[in-house]
Amino acid sequence: MISVAIDGPAGAGKSTLSRRVAEKLGYIYVDTGALYRTVGLKFINLGYDTELNCDIEEILSKTDIEIKYINGEQRVFLDKVDVSEDIRTPNASMMASAVSAKPPVRAFLLEMQRKLARGNNVVMDGRDIGTVVLPNATVKIFLTASVKARADRRYKELCEKGIETDYKSVYDDIEKRDYNDSHRDIAPLKPADDSVLADTTKLNVEQSLELLLKIVKEGIK
């Protein structure tokens, strides 16, 4: 089986590009952030906040998460309910970030991610795919862009969606998330030693896609 691991900070275009790379290659796309978001939603539904003052392991033992591919698209199910849209709210993002720093949560999701890569050719994106989840991935890419480039893209996206915001808070938020993701004790965001760096600061989506496909084709030769 071939696995392409794509890690990188928030806002680098990982999901858009990973999905397109998977489509081109005919592999399945695994969005691992969706799994952390789904665990986050479970704790939201139970009434907890980001302090997570609860017995996390006990709750996880009563949590059922499944990934299904419907018409080639990844859908996530929490306790048999399709929550693929519900996990996209700002609240779910906050909780995903909080639960992702908890070792039992990472352990809970690890085998699910590895199993998908054992049974399928995958493009898997996240923060720790090349370093922890698939240390033997066929190709590892660390996808990044400057904070300014990522903030510009995110700001434009929010404006287009009609979501009111100011540029400074978008910029500060990206900086803060970078710091949190790369400074947590467990599975911090960092390039795997054998990853190829793809910097999209000066590239548009099509150029970035071209770059990634070139890296992947080199890697699976």
Phi, psi (deg, nearest 5) at residue 131 = -90, -40
Instruction: Restricting to residues 45-84, name those near ligand DC by CB under 6 A.
Output: none
Compute the least distance from the CB of residue 74 to ligand DC, in Å: 12
Measured between its terminal Cα atoms, the distance across the chain in Å is 14
Instruction: List C-alpha distances in Å: 8 to 26, 77, 158, 159, 204.
Output: 22, 25, 21, 24, 17
Site stretch for ligand DC (CB under 6 A), options 31-39, 44-52, 76-84, 208-216 = 31-39
Compute the least distance from the CB of residue 20 to ligand DC, in Å: 16
Instruction: Restricting to residues 169-188, name those near ligand DC by CB under 6 A.
Output: 181
Compute the least distance from the CB of residue 221 to ligand DC, in Å: 27
How far is it, in rounded angstroms, from Cα 50 to Cα 32?
Answer: 20
Q: Which residue, 111, 81, 83, 112, is CA-closest to 96?
A: 83
How far is it, in rounded angstroms, from Cα 6 to Cα 66?
Answer: 21
Q: Is 102 in the site for ligand DC (CB under 6 A)?
A: no
Instruction: Restricting to residues 106-165, name those near ligand DC by CB under 6 A.
Output: 126-128
Q: In this chain, which of 96, 134, 151, 192 binds ligand DC, going by CB under 6 A?
A: 96
Compute the least distance from the CB of residue 24 to ligand DC, in Å: 21
Report whether 34 contacts 112 (CB < 8 A).
no
**Interface ranges with ligand DC (CB under 6 A):** 10, 32-33, 36-37, 96-97, 100, 126-128, 181
